[in-house]
Structure 1
């Protein structure tokens, strides 16, 4: 399995000497809940769709879980049913290594999320549930064992999961795990999976062992501008790294604690909002029912926030995954890896409309039908109009007026991406 690295420009990833668009799917609970045959069927389908990364939690999530009496657990239990972090269940770790090896067979990299928030002392997810916390004395025995077993497959390591840096103890805990990974798998691709709007401490930002930035834009219809805000948050960091939105809204997920669920067009808009505002190194998809490996007969313990998940087999075939796959195809075909946000080129700012540019190309994402006026004359450039809902490619109507480019209202009731290239 080839290793993913960071480009010299720090804008995107490289694999096998070529730009690599990081297209991930989210399946947090795979190790504890899926059989090998189910895992292979899942990987086959995502491989066909063009996915090249899958996000998996090393250990099961406690606060977002579908009860399954057959699930495999990483540690033995104490008499009161709590995990005994001093006694490994080797069968679980054998399965982890096997499943990562199988993913490598399909050419898919596993992004291994090591420490979820509920494992960290004094975090928002462990307060009142101290039995979930992995003792600091066990960090090295647990994570050195895991890293040594899987590093030959070149996984991506997310040091944290859903973390809020509410105190120094949380930061210190993450730093210790990052140090373990860096010592044992030096140069590996690493990141932090953080709660929406969180800002990592400078000790993490300036740590050379951290290789790329990631954020999650959240699961709320009220926060449609989160991708733009969070991309800007990391673009302004003095240490430049690739940026990925590793948790846009999951398709089929409830609108936080409110009613309503995200549809394919909703998550597609969040994806393009991320890619066009600076988080262009890739994008991560999620389907509500896939990440939890939910079966309709099982009880899910966080329905008040997320909604009851769809059955795994149903969620696997949600249409939004193809929209994310199409985004990857567009980036690869148009070679958009080097684009930079260029909102200043929009004469008539439109909510949710984003402009990017590179030396020889310009792209505009338009979420709904409207005329677009650019403060740049690209009327002689080659233009394409990509209808994102239908995955069709057309020719835009555009012309020059007073040194500006007018892109006429198009004929489709869909979001579109305009791509103009000089050559």
Structure 2
């Protein structure tokens, strides 16, 4: 069973699958290959496919901040899952990863495989923490061998290759490692799509890499104070780099404690805010969901990890599959398909229409419509006369629709859309009035 040909569309703002518009809707399951029993994997895949997930973001190396204990199967010889003999690959791991990818493809889910997570690369923020705790980096001369192994074992499943994982580019040494990795994947898998997953709030990719990337990933991440990056990052990417598909690859994860042990848990509404504010700011190619207990695979026996940031205790993975936020994300491509008329129209940020200093309200034009995301209940004030339009609000929590009155001030040329009646976030859509 093949998944079809994934490509960048002609507008370079999204993807096509066998020539038809396609929306990246991923789940974050970084620790899958080291942590998940195959029987649990089958149930997880069936559930995520049911929820609309079509991509899984997976680390090909053991996730440094995964939940422990592991299953004890590692890609390279290791006694503890932290220190590896890079010259001694474990074929049992690679055969198991191959079977897991085969099962995912049977459910219509494409692997997006991270090749080089930051803790394995010297000169990155992650490696500085990991090395203090006794976790050495990968030698430079093993980079190509690792990527060859990934492509040889998993390339037949048409994966997307994510060259970097949660990385910065602050050292020449790190850039040299990633140059080795990117060059290798370009040579070994020239027809596969590739990108880089970069760390929270990072808006800097070395210029030498840009032409070899097919699309951009960004992440607002899990810092309580940094959630405005959901819209600021796409604004900056669009201003600074050649146009390519752009997607929010790591929004705040549902029920994750904020980083640095801040006393907070991100709700489904927080996740929706990250999603919709990014989409209406130009990141409309796709979206990644995350649940705190799936990305790191928490079980009843898990005792957590000594590495990584403090995120408060995860939920068991079975509980995570019941979180409501993934259903909200599953609705996103259906709403976008309706707004864009099946991909005919682009989502064009139009923040200049907003007469409000509250940047968290995001506005875009989609064909002949104006779409706004309101994280809280309030009136919407827009520059311009929209007298020939009608307004509806879509309740993103309870999936209700309200028809809203509008008033145009002929003296100022402003349009006021009265506040919607919902106690949750909503999309407000202005569309040509029906006749």
With the shorter chain as reference, the TM-score category is over 0.9
| Partner Cα separation in structure 2 for residue 410 and residue 293 of structure 1 | 39
Q: CA shift at 1:316, angstroms? A: 1.6
2:310 counterpart SS class:
helix
Q: CA shift at 1:149, angstroms? A: 2.4
Match of 2:347 in 1: 339
Check whether the contact 1:372–1:406 (CA below 8 A) recurs between aligned residues.
yes
| Partner Cα separation in structure 2 for residue 237 and residue 7 of structure 1 | 20
Q: CA shift at 1:327, angstroms? A: 1.8
Q: CA shift at 1:132, angstroms? A: 3.0
Confirm whether residue 201 of structure 1 aligns to residue 206 of structure 2: yes
1:243 pairs, out of 243, 246, 250, with 246
**1:145-186 Cα shifts (integer Å, max 9, x gaps):** 211222222111110111011111111211211111111211
2:236 counterpart SS class:
helix
| Partner Cα separation in structure 1 for residue 79 and residue 101 of structure 2 | 29
| Partner Cα separation in structure 2 for residue 16 and residue 100 of structure 1 | 21
| Partner Cα separation in structure 2 for residue 231 and residue 137 of structure 1 | 35
| Partner Cα separation in structure 2 for residue 378 and residue 415 of structure 1 | 23
**1:297-333 Cα shifts (integer Å, max 9, x gaps):** 2111258611111111011211111111122221122
1:299 counterpart SS class:
coil
Instruction: Provide TM-score, normalisation by structure 2.
Output: 0.92
Shift in alpha-carbon separation, 1:422–1:80, aligned structure 2, 3 A: closer
Stretches (4+) displaced over 6 A: 78-81
Instruction: Provide TM-score, normalisation by structure 1.
Output: 0.94
Shift in alpha-carbon separation, 1:357–1:69, aligned structure 2, 3 A: closer
1:236 counterpart SS class:
helix
Shift in alpha-carbon separation, 1:89–1:236, aligned structure 2, 3 A: same
Confirm whether residue 292 of structure 1 aligns to residue 296 of structure 2: yes
RMSD over aligned CA atoms reads 2.0
Shift in alpha-carbon separation, 1:393–1:80, aligned structure 2, 3 A: closer
Check whether the contact 2:340–2:366 (CA below 8 A) recurs between aligned residues.
no
Match of 1:162 in 2: 166
Q: CA shift at 1:112, angstroms? A: 0.6
| Partner Cα separation in structure 2 for residue 136 and residue 303 of structure 1 | 23
1:357 counterpart SS class:
strand
For residues 398-417 of structure 1, the aligned pairs below 5 Å read: 398-402=406-410, 403-417=413-427
1:259 pairs, out of 248, 263, 270, with 263
Check whether the contact 2:31–2:58 (CA below 8 A) recurs between aligned residues.
yes
Match of 1:176 in 2: 180
Farther-moved stretch of structure 1 (369-378 vs 39-48): 369-378
Check whether the contact 2:246–2:284 (CA below 8 A) recurs between aligned residues.
yes
The gaps in structure 2 that reach 5 residues or longer are none
Q: CA shift at 1:411, angstroms? A: 1.0
| Partner Cα separation in structure 1 for residue 415 and residue 81 of structure 2 | 69
Match of 2:60 in 1: 58
The gaps in structure 1 that reach 5 residues or longer are none
2:125 counterpart SS class:
coil
**1:331-369 Cα shifts (integer Å, max 9, x gaps):** 122227511111111123434101001342221111111
Confirm whether residue 280 of structure 1 aligns to residue 288 of structure 2: no
Match of 2:51 in 1: 49
Check whether the contact 2:390–2:406 (CA below 8 A) recurs between aligned residues.
no
Check whether the contact 2:72–2:81 (CA below 8 A) recurs between aligned residues.
no
Q: CA shift at 1:379, angstroms? A: 3.4
Q: CA shift at 1:131, angstroms? A: 4.6
Check whether the contact 2:402–2:421 (CA below 8 A) recurs between aligned residues.
no
Confirm whether residue 322 of structure 1 aligns to residue 323 of structure 2: no
| Partner Cα separation in structure 2 for residue 401 and residue 335 of structure 1 | 29
